[in-house]
A and B are shown apart, each in its own frame.
Chain A
């Protein structure tokens, strides 16, 4: 882990101040295997702690990138169980505070919805008698 990673102050969307750019040629150094690398952190998509740590060494430096790279937090629970864990592992691997990592994006719908329910808008309108 290195101390010379330069992160944007405040993370994405949290600061309008002119933040420092993130230079990705400065890496977190060599990947060192750890005894708890097999621990599952994302149960929906079966992603382990070691997967997340390795992703950082592959150049995935933001929550958004790790999510797209490993599908961590993209399963049925949409990251409700694993996000805090992933954030902690990423920050530790990068040698930065958790607060400088980008905020994970929450997207509609709040919970999984069947197509027939989400798409029922037209039927409801007909029911209004219009």
Chain B
């Protein structure tokens, strides 16, 4: 058993088959899948609100293109099998739109980057190709003359991450999952060699299995049982416009990654991006968000979609990505700590794959054969240079 941290209390606050730490989209989707299997589940959330981390702070992309080859099978599966029926399955509109992703290029170097992404996609069975300047404009007539080509993946799309997260939460809760928010988790404790207890400042929660889906917070909690996942915080910022007339349904991105975004069901445009100074700002220990970022995103957008220059920004916000050292998540059981399952380090692309990840994590936690091979996401894959 690990040493007790200050502020913990030993009173038993709850028991269930599984205890999930983190009520973001991954934790909520996992709890939902466990409840579908008939298990009792407790979900513990540090924040007062459900899904208040990266789950409510991302661009809502449901994207297969541009993904790492290891992650692509998860995205393909989710788009083919889960996203189209998710609103019906959860009984709430998640605003899923499957109308393609254009990744735009303005220079020859950009087009080389896009060709590389398209090659990776095609090699893994994704319907993806390069478009010339004219073809791009047939799909999206609002693009500037600077755009000389794009990669096109017609089966990509977008959804509303706020509604999706809350839909998983609502359905899981209807299925009997007990959610406790505003609870400070301090560590995982082993009993007879198995992860069984989650210690908090207000009592112990106990289960046959413990699942850590707490974003960056997972690192500290996994460390309490001697496991480390190399990840760090990366700040992303986003903005939303007021309602605009319907313009185009595709998700937009760029070879330069200077912005990404789409028009929502509501009519507003949501765009994300950065200023390039996030790392330095974050490390300085002060407020990591910056007033120069939203203007930088606006300048990028206007170069690609000039018509949006008159769109009014109503809100800006920021959030932390749990950036993994090798750019893909950890979705894994832990050999040294039976009963412990990790789902973290999603590196800013967790939302699009969240419906299948929730299922895979539930399967891992239950010791079932997983729907897809998850060996590329093991916690012990990280190696030093030498």
Q: What residues of chain A have their CB less than 8 Å away from a CB belonging to chain B?
A: 8, 11-12, 18-25, 58-62, 64-65, 68-69, 71, 74-76, 78, 102, 107-109, 112-116, 118-122
Contacts and interface: CB of A to CB of B under 8 A. Distances in A.
A115 B301 contact: yes
Interface in B32-87: 47-52, 56
Contacts of B129: none
Contacts of A22: 48, 180-182
Q: Is the interface of B mostly helix, strand, loop or mixed?
A: mixed
Interface of B: 7, 47-52, 56, 162-163, 166, 169-170, 173, 178-184, 200-202, 241-243, 266, 291-292, 294-299, 301-302, 308-317
B294 A118 contact: yes
Contacts, number: 123
Given A8-B182, A22-B181, A24-B178, A116 B49 contact: no
21 contacts: A8-B182, A11-B48, A18-B7, A18-B184, A18-B201, A18-B202, A19-B182, A20-B202, A22-B180, A23-B179, A69-B166, A78-B315, A109-B314, A113-B312, A115-B301, A115-B302, A116-B298, A118-B294, A119-B297, A119-B301, A121-B295
Given A74-B315, A114-B312, A115-B302, A64 B7 contact: no
B308 A115 contact: yes
A23 B291 contact: no
User: Closest 3 CB pairs between A and B?
Assistant: A119-B298, A112-B312, A68-B162
Contacts of A68: 51, 56, 162-163, 166
- Which one of B47, B56, B166, B266 has the greatest number of beta carbons of chain A within 10 Å? B166
B180 A24 contact: yes
A116 B309 contact: yes
B50 to A, nearest CB: 6
B309 A115 contact: yes
